[in-house]
Chains A and B, each alone.
Chain A
Amino acid sequence: MAGLMAGFGCYTHAVVRGIPRSLAKEALRISQADVDSTKAQREYDDYVQVLRTTLGLEVVELPADETLPDCVFVEDAAVVCGDTALITRPGAESRRRETEAMKGALKDLNLNIVEMTDENATLDGGDVLFTGREFFVGLSKRTNQRGAEILADAFKDYAVSTVPVLEGLHLKSFCSMGGPGLIVIGSSEPAQKAVKIMQQMSDHRYDKLTVPDDLAANCIYMNLPNKGQVLLHCTGEDYPESVKVFDKFKDHLLIPVSNSEKVKVDGALTCCSVLINKKPNN
């Protein structure tokens, strides 16, 4: 039976992109930090392996582009919901060309492509939180009102509410969905404030799960046919306190994924993939 907005967390495909060597030196970052290229590459390989092998997703791997040091963070280049893909206009000038390869890949996956052509609009996918029932778009350094409007236009079924992002790079730098109706949120004041705004703006009810570290609040929830509820989250090495919280999800397949290098260039777990559900309506 056809039904809309069903199957939150159901994915069949993932689009990822290799890490260019230029990432270590040239990728944008909020605070200065040295990135260990080898380690970053290992993290990336592990990540892809989890998606492909552990979870059995169809992984589309785009080749790294040395001229696009941030290209591994594919999430910012596109927002996919249902069978529609919005190709964004990333807020950072240096990242605009990242969308080209992404657009090609999503086209190949037969998604309806909507492009953000308005030159006044900027939007990073990292600022877009889709809860299954609605969108929250962080208005941040990278995303503006116009970008949010275009997103709202692309996904007309859903309410799109804006949330100011006062700290951190993206909205999803301190939150993500941990399940249907469950927002995982960092404990910092801006994060808590943001989550309250989200609840105020929403007709739906959410539970929140607060984790001590903001960055650890970025996790990936999936609901896969053969795996059940899956949660990719931070490792105990990176965030010993936060990981305790995730460890309590007894019914979930918990997969700690190390991200210590990419996080130095503000890359969180969700940043490294665009997840797609090609199996309609389940």
Chain B
Amino acid sequence: MTTESGSDSEAKQQQQREESTEAPKENPKAAEPASSQSQLEQLPAAVGHSTPARKEQETQEEDQESRQSSSSRLSRSPLKGVKSVKIMQCKVTLLDGSDYTLNVEKRVKGHVLFDKVCDHLNLLEKDYFGITYRDVEKQKNWLDPNKDLKKQIRTGPWNFAFNVKFYPPDPAQLTEDITRYYLCLQLRDDVVSGRLPCSFATHTVLGSYTVQSELGDYDPEELGSDYISELRFAPNQTKELEEKVMELHKTYKGMTPAEAEMHFLENAKKLSMYGVDLHHAKDSEGVEIMLGVCASGLLIYRDRLRINRFAWPKILKISYKRTNFYIKIRPGEFEQFESTIGFKLPNHRAAKRLWKVCVEHHTFFRLVCPEVPPKKFITLGSKFRYSGRTQAQTRRASSQIIRPAPFFERSASKRYNMSRSLDGAPITENHETLMKDSDSAARGDIITTVTTEKKAEEEKAEREDARAETTEAAAGTTTPLRQEAKTDSEQTDFAFDGDITATEDTDPPTEMVKHQTNISELKRSFLETDGGVPGLTEWERRLSSSPARSPRTDEPPMIEPLDLQDEEDEEPARDETKLELKATEAAEYLLNCAADSPLADGAPPTGPQGISPSATMDDDVFAAEEKTLESQDDLSEKSVAKLSPGSVREEVSQAITDKRGTLIILKEAEVETEGKEEVEKLLMTKMEALLEDASQVKGSPKKAMASWVSEVARAEESEACRVLPEEMTKTFEQSKPDVAQITLSETAPLAVSTLGWVSSSVTSEKASADLEQKKLVAMEIDAAPEACPHTEGEVVCTKETPVVHTETKTITYESAVSDMNGDADPGVLLSAQTITSETNSTTTTTHITKTVKGGISETRIEKRIVITGDSEIDHDEALAQAIKEAKEQHPDMSVTKVVVHKETEITPEEGED
């Protein structure tokens, strides 16, 4: 029942008048409890549940529907007399089970309520949280912060609940204890309600930390012997469980509440259902299944068994239509085309709810910044976007929190009490000062040491039916049923990882589809060829050639990262703390692969685990999303790479053993526009200088060696976002977009006998997307499918025509994640220029292209350095240096691709070096 505090009939009428005249979007009926009720009655009964278990307090909430209490009204008082502003009383059930009642203006959007609640909770890291409400079917929905409250709460009282929306995969990375405390509260409820199943042992462990956090040290005199049974730890709590909890509790003496919560979270996060939002569905054969949305993707369960999993990068598009929910899957290893998998949801609303939750999770965990909703006046598909901060952004923001750790009271949460005896006697704890000290230190580490999370680089694009959207807007005036009929489908494309955006309205060019296919093949071939081949495999070669290790027999066993293509997403999102928050796009990715040659390079020396777990993340780690020019068909440019500078250095230094030419494409991403040209020039100069140095040091030129470095720098300005492409076109000259290709053809002139391979690197970071790096595009020349066979030949494909022995090697290091934007917006080329400079042994060609796409200007620098010489020039050193220097000089840019192309004339005596 809608309650309008301070309202009178006059105001009501006025409100109605306003609403009816305001816009077609308004729903005059929404303000009328009576008609809302009748709507409610017309609606079908609830068919499905979005979560398997329901919250206790929310049931209560519904029970109390019309009995709004005005207790603890902390916010503004009803504005009587101000007739144009209607105040609504909202009751928000907080995570500790208490209700918080507050008033908001009726016309405000969801975020106003959310912000007020967060203020009340003294919560700064609020992006992980959200507000839920029950719809007419009593299903839990997330309040859309950008939509009017009144349009979301069409019927019933304004009752809400505050909940965790995105469960951080690594709670230790949260900045504040208070945030972790709220997360704990949510998880406790998840556990007690059964949504988060756990074993007996886990119940005892989690329970014991709960007790420590809430009650402090074990103290039989103060607590009594039965204190434990007042708390709830499990859906079915037994005496045995309570005893075990108590046993553990006794061992925690001196542990602060914050520490206890940290331990709680460290255990809870490992549970397989942690943060999994389950939705009932049926598969195409009508079998009951559950769809679980989580940070890493979509999980499919049948009963308790996981029967499938689709990581976000594997999903190209999600959509729903009527009661069906669809995901379009990237082609599998043995398939050529994408497949679409459909699930039947209990009803339309459930389908839409699932779709929204997917869009939001994908954006939050996978992207660096939310996608800007299409500004075009006609678009297909939904305008719905997750508009909050992404995890990457919120981490960045959180790292700037400088307030002293706030004091907050950990109350013995009411809802865990079986008896009411503790009501009104909340247990407080006084360890705040202690906590502050110990924890802030720990946190400092945590923040700067970037560990694994999902990286969030790819772009999500979603298409939307403009018509549907209009209807949805208009649907305010209709009953929910009608709305359902009209907005019965929406879809979201995820265009990332080098793949196409297959929207219904803009089909990708066939070439691109081909590319995609070949990339998958490529990856497959990598996966397949390794291991099974008895001879030297990629890994063996890599390991054996690693300079750090001597005789081959001492090598650790060849261990491969077991990656599937979807594993690309395991790349952590790294917060670029140096960047200003406003520059949402300024996060960077730098990804690059280690040089890889059969003899002289190597993965980082590794232990038996094969991949050394890298803890090499520097403080400035790069995370970014790339917006490249769709107009350029150079595949390489469509990729994003990620790596920490530390890793780059490491890998490059490994590449140093490769004394052959190098072809490098560096892509520097996202510089703020100001001074970017300078930056580029500096960079260019620097690299030239370095290469010169290198050649001087290493001796005189000898054989045909080619190396180039191309950097692509991309810049964007926040202002530019609003400038139309046309306006910016005037500035610069046009030139060929595919710079990289030119060079390559040059570098492979007289390969009579070609020994070509491309291999991928193993990054030192275990959790990083090795596969991305495997996803190489070998011969950049046209990035066409023809190149791929070469790439597949990472088991060295040789074509012998022994006249002139020339070895040509091309190694491309690039991010596998191609950054084609979902919008398939080709962008407008603003300028392109080529600068060439020469020294004795090196020729450096720099191409700078500037484009504007979707209001974002992008500068790309590609640098090609050809080194010719007959001595062993240490190109790799030069390259390593150059990259390093470049990174240091331009922390805002990232190197996204490095192609090393080497051509060596082999004299018979030398054999293959």
Chain A residues packing against B (C-beta within 8 Å): 1-5, 82-84, 112, 133-134, 137, 145, 148-149, 152-153, 155-162, 179, 181-183, 185, 187, 192, 195-196, 198-203, 205-210, 212, 229, 241, 245-252
Partner of A84, one of B199, B296, B305, B561: B199
Q: Given contacts A196-B333, A209-B557, could you give 13 more A-B pairs where the C-beta distance is less than 8 Å? A: A3-B267, A4-B202, A145-B302, A159-B272, A187-B532, A192-B531, A196-B527, A200-B566, A205-B567, A206-B562, A210-B532, A212-B534, A250-B556
Known: A181-B609, A199-B563. A245 touches B303 (CB 8 A): no
- B83 CB, nearest partner CB in chain A, Å: 55
Q: Do B570 and A4 touch (CB < 8 A)?
A: no
Q: Across the interface, do A162 and B198 meet the contact criterion of CB distance under 8 Å?
A: no
Q: Are A248 and B555 in contact (CB under 8 A)?
A: yes
Q: How far is the CA of A201 from the CA of B302 in the complex (A)?
A: 13
Instruction: Tell me the nearest residue of chain A to B555, going by C-beta.
Output: A248
**Cα separation A84 to B674 with both chains bound (whole Å):** 62
Residue of chain B at shortest CB distance from A2: B205
Instruction: Name the residue of chain A whose CB is nearest to the CB of B296.
Output: A203
Which residue on chain A has the smallest CB distance to residue B534?
A: A212
Contacting residues, chain A, for B308 (C-beta < 8 A): 200-201
B529-556 CB mask vs A (1 if < 8 Å, else 0) is 0111010000000000000000001111
The 6 closest A-B pairs by CB, nearest first: A210-B531, A159-B272, A152-B304, A248-B557, A208-B562, A161-B306
A82 contact from B201, B527, B563, Cβ within 8 A: B201
Among A145, A159, A185, which residue has its beta carbon within 8 angstroms of that of B306?
Answer: A159
Determine if B567 and A152 form an interchain contact, defined as CB atoms under 8 angstroms apart: no
Which residues from A are CB-within-8-Å of B559? 182, 207-209
Chain B contacts for A199, CB-based, 8 A? 562-564, 567
CA distance A78 to B609 in the complex (A): 29
A195: chain B residues within 8 A (beta carbon): 562
Contact across chains for A207 and B208 when beta carbons are under 8 A apart: no
Give the interface residue-count category, chain B.
Answer: 35 or more
B608 touches A179 (CB 8 A): yes
The contact string, 1 if C-beta is below 8 Å from chain A, for chain B 647-687, is 00000000000000000000000000000000000000000
B196-210 contacts to A, CB under 8 A, are 197-202, 205, 208
Q: Is the CB of B534 within 8 A of A155?
A: no
In contact, A162 and B306 (Cβ under 8 angstroms)? yes
Asked whether, in the complex, the Cβ of B608 is within 8 Å of the Cβ of A250, the reply is yes
Pair B570/A205 contact, Cβ less than 8 Å: yes
Contact in complex: A4, B201 (CB < 8 Å): yes
Asked if B79 is an interface residue, CB under 8 A from chain A, the answer is no
Listed A/B pairs (10) with beta-carbon separation below 8 Å: A3-B267, A149-B304, A159-B306, A161-B306, A199-B567, A205-B562, A206-B561, A206-B562, A209-B557, A250-B554
B444 at the interface (CB under 8 A from A): no
Asked if B531 and A208 make an inter-chain contact with CB atoms under 8 angstroms apart, the answer reads: yes
Asked if B558 and A1 sit within 8 Å, CB to CB, the answer is no
Chain A hits for B557, CB < 8 A: 209, 245-249
Rounded to whole Å, the gap between the CB of A220 and the closest CB of chain B is: 15
- Asked if B306 contacts A5 (CB within 8 A), the reply is no
Contact of A3 among B266, B560, B563, B609 (CB under 8 A): B266
State A233–B534 Cα separation when bound (angstroms): 19
Decide if B375 is an interface residue (CB 8 Å cutoff).
no
Question: Chain B residues in contact with chain A, CB under 8 A?
Answer: 197-202, 205, 208, 248, 251, 263, 266-267, 270-272, 294, 296, 302-309, 311, 333, 527-528, 530-532, 534, 553-564, 566-567, 570, 607-611, 766-767
Which residues of A are found within 8 Å of B570, using beta-carbon distances? 205
The complex places the Cα of A251 from the Cα of B308 at a distance, in Å, of 36
B217 to chain A, nearest CB (A): 15
Partner of A251, one of B272, B527, B531, B607: B607
Interface contact A249-B272, CB-CB below 8 Å: no
In Å, the complex CA distance between A158 and B201 comes to: 12
**Contact count A vs B, C-beta below 8 Å:** 155
Residue of A nearest to B769 (CB): A205
Q: Would you call B610 and A207 a contact (CB within 8 A)?
A: yes
A153 CB contacts on chain B under 8 angstroms: 304
Q: From B199, B263, B607, name the one whose CB has the most chain A CB atoms within 10 angstroms.
A: B199
Closest to B766 in A: A205
Q: Give A229 to B609 CA distance when docked, in angstroms.
A: 12
Check A155 against B199 for contact (C-beta < 8 Å).
yes
Q: Is the CB of A160 within 8 A of B305?
A: yes
Q: How far is the CA of A77 from the CA of B199 in the complex (A)?
A: 21
The residue in chain A whose Cβ has the minimal distance to the Cβ of B768 is A205
Could you say which residues of chain B place their CB within 8 Å of the CB of A83? 201
Which B residue sits closest to A155, measured CB to CB? B199
- Assembled-state Cα–Cα distance A229/B554 (Å): 18
State whether B767 touches A5 (Cβ < 8 A).
Answer: no
Name A4's contact: one of B205, B251, B564 (CB within 8 Å). Answer: B205
User: A202 with B309: in contact, given A84-B199, A181-B609, A182-B609 (CB under 8 Å)?
Assistant: yes
Residue pair B305, A149 in contact (C-beta under 8 Å) = yes
Cβ of A2 and Cβ of B304 under 8 Å apart?
no
Q: Are B306 and A183 in contact (CB under 8 A)?
A: no
A154 to chain B, nearest CB (A): 8
Whether B530 pairs with A210 at a CB distance below 8 angstroms is yes
Q: Roughly how many angstroms separate A183 CA and B527 CA in the complex, as a whole number? A: 15
- Contact, CB under 8 Å: A157 / B271: yes
Q: How far is the CA of A155 from the CA of B200 in the complex (A)?
A: 9
**How far apart are the CA atoms of A145 and B305 in the complex, in Å?**
9
Contacting residues, chain B, for A1 (C-beta < 8 A): 263
Contact yes or no, B305 A201, CB < 8 A: no
- Chain B: CB-nearest residue to A146: B303
**Residue pair B198, A207 in contact (C-beta under 8 Å):** no
The residues of B that contact A158 with a CB separation of less than 8 Å are 272
Asked if A201 and B306 make an inter-chain contact with CB atoms under 8 angstroms apart, the answer reads yes
Closest CB-CB distance, A268 to chain B, in whole Å?
19
Asked if B270 and A133 sit within 8 Å, CB to CB, the answer is yes
- Which residues in A have their C-beta under 8 angstroms from that of B556? 248-250
A207 and B197 contact, CB distance less than 8 A: no
Q: Flag if B534 contacts A192 (CB, 8 Å).
A: no
Q: How far is the CA of A210 from the CA of B610 in the complex (A)?
A: 12
Assess whether A5 is in contact with B528, with CB atoms less than 8 Å apart.
no
Q: Which of B270, B561, B564 contacts A157 (CB 8 A)?
A: B270
Decide if B534 touches A209 in the complex (CB within 8 Å).
no
Write out the residue numbers on chain B whose beta carbons fall within 8 Å of the beta carbon of A248.
Answer: 553-558, 608
Separation in Å of the B313 CB from the closest CB of chain A? 12
Residues of A contacting B534 with CB < 8 Å? 212, 241
Contact: B305 with A157, CB < 8 Å? no
Whether the Cβ atoms of A156 and B307 lie closer than 8 Å is no
A103: min CB distance to chain B, Å: 19
- Bound-state Cα–Cα, A248 to B208, Å: 43
Query: Cα distance A30–B202 when bound, in Å?
Result: 40
Q: A82-B199, A209-B559 are in contact. Are A148 and B305 (CB under 8 A)?
A: yes
State how many angstroms separate the Cβ of A80 from the closest Cβ of chain B: 13
Least CB distance from B268 to A in Å reads 9
Which residue in B251, B271, B532, B610 is a CB contact (below 8 Å) of A192? Answer: B532
Max chain B C-beta neighbours (<10 A), residue from A5, A148, A160, A209: A209
B746 to chain A, nearest CB (A): 39
Cβ–Cβ contact B554 & A245, under 8 A: no
Instruction: Give B469 Cβ to nearest chain A Cβ, in Å.
Output: 34
Taking a contact as CB atoms closer than 8 A, the residue among B205, B271, B305, B766 that contacts A152 in the complex is: B305
User: How close is A180's CB to chain B, nearest CB, in angstroms?
Assistant: 8
Contact B306 A156 (CB under 8 A): no
Residue from the list A2, A206, A252 in contact with B608, Cβ < 8 A: A252
Complex Cα–Cα for A258 and B485 (A):
68
